Structure 1
């Protein structure tokens, strides 16, 4: 059998994801935020006034997990829930001033990490790689 797990696309993607997530997590640690919390906070900032279900879809998490993350972000003072004017039973999510200030700090950190990941890789190869990843995601 001539098969190497280390050459499996799924294995390589998983390994790369775990390494990059660990690196980003270590850089976010001083700000008391995880990469998962950042993903939710970033999407609330980008799409203010969305509901929890929409955020869950944007971050590819189930609703209970998303709810726990939002609870934490709210407790830390970075997001707030407001009652929807259209439906009093629904809550919409908004970023706070403190949350926006944190995003302004974290996005450059995340961008710098992406730059480090692409170091030494020609731009055309990086674009081809991103295209290939999007095709793999579509296949999934």
Structure 2
């Protein structure tokens, strides 16, 4: 997929410790036909003086998913939870009332975190240029 200059994208790192995470970034340039330079929104160089930039392979860059309004999740729903400045893939394990937060078991390491619905979204996969829900249904947008 070709991206435009300054387009907001998500980065799906393939390195240990980052698997299952999506970092928000802005596309700065294409490098050849299979690489991009991006600037992260919430990753900083040492000391926090400036935002980190990185050259990435095309398979680590995807468009930002469409916004799907959802604040009510069920146990076992596959979701992305916004934790430590990134979206992490996981599954809802329980709902905590009355404070209305959810426990999410993250796929990367099985760590369980408590997340309010405002920091959650339905997980979508980017496959062959289209958004796909976890149950293999194609999302029309």
- Same fold flag (TM > 0.5): no
Q: Which has the larger radius of gyration?
A: 1
TM-score range, shorter chain: under 0.3
Decide which structure has greater helix share: 1
TM-score (norm 1): 0.24
Decide which structure has greater strand share: 2
